[in-house]
Amino acid sequence: MKGKKRAALALGALAALPPLSAYALFRLGFCRTGHNIFFSTDALFDKYRRAIEAEARWLESLPREKLTIRSFDGLRLSARYFPREGSRGTMLLVHGYRSLGSHDFALALRYFYEQGFSILLPDGRVCGESEGKYITFGVFERYDCVSWAKEASRRFGKDRPLYLCGISMGATAVLCASCLGLPGNVRGIVADCGFTTPRAMIGIVAKRAHIPAFPTLALIEGYCKRLAGFGFDDCSTVSSLEKSDIPVLFVHGDADAVVPPEMTLENYRACRAHKRLLLAEGAGHGESFAAANDRFRAEFEAFIDETIEDARV
């Protein structure tokens, strides 16, 4: 009898392992931690540490204003706004997974500013000073992009040109926001190394970590649906771009080992609006501005010239 009881307990423990391990992975990948973890551009930071630290000091020397809004689901979201005298428009910069805008865009901030743009740097939900419990891989973040764009339009003027620029998960968020009724003064989107869908990106991460699609990944999605309120198929850059009329500059490093460059090519093919494409030779994840600086500048400036006067109705 005791042997049967021990066997039953062992079987129960084994049966509990997949749900428990899936929950642990859910907590690790989708829940707020006690601090920011800069996954988006860690390699970039290590490679250009001194330059990034110098740019951080420059950014801190600028006058700024703290802004807050309420998200569609009631979260308090925070941002820093860096006004430029004689501004020709605003760059709304959306960072990647567990990061901050001042980190992901560190090497490009001065360039955008010198190009005549004021800078709006939101902290994504779960990150920095913004509230939130769960990261949703673009599903809820896309609505936050719309909220910030509407706040920028209201606060800085409906006629002031506004560009949304995203990197990694932030690129996915801004692309998925492109069909959700952005203000008419949004002139365009700059999307650097965005992925196609949460399922595709999470699947790639799981495969690299040797996490089986069944049952573990299926259980993780179950926790996402039940606790965080989203599923892996709830947004798609491809379907969003098929419905959008907002011009897009697509950027991706051809040596990106995090998000496959093929995802940006798929997004590019789906885009029905005016578009440009830069595949930065030799650039890793989030590294296109640093590794292909001259080409990025040329493509960006051409894109701005082509779109800044074209207000959408």
Q: Render pLDDT for 30-69 as a digit per residue (tens, 0 to 9).
A: 998 744 444 555 666 677 888 888 999 999 999 999 999 9
Q: Render pLDDT for 131-173 as a digit per residue (tens, 0 to 9).
A: 999 999 999 999 999 999 999 999 999 999 999 999 999 999 9
Residues 297/305, Cβ–Cβ less than 8 Å: no
Q: Which CATH number applies to 16-307: 1.20.950.20, 3.40.50.1820, 3.30.470.20, 3.40.50.720?
A: 3.40.50.1820
Longest C-alpha distance within the chain, in Å? 84
Q: Render pLDDT for 83-123 as a digit per residue (tens, 0 to 9).
A: 999 999 999 999 999 999 998 999 999 999 999 999 999 99
Mention every residue, 6+ apart, whose C-beta is less than 8 A from residue 35: none
pLDDT given for residue 13 in this prediction: 41
pLDDT given for residue 36 in this prediction: 46
For the record, the structure tokens of 195 come out as: 């992925």
Q: Render pLDDT for 274-283 as a digit per residue (tens, 0 to 9).
A: 999 999 999 9
Residues 125/135, Cβ–Cβ less than 8 Å: yes
Q: Report CA 54 to chain centroid distance, whole Å.
A: 24
pLDDT given for residue 312 in this prediction: 62
* Pairing status of strand 275-280 against strand 248-253: parallel
pLDDT given for residue 3 in this prediction: 60
Judge whether residue 10 has pLDDT over 90. Answer: no
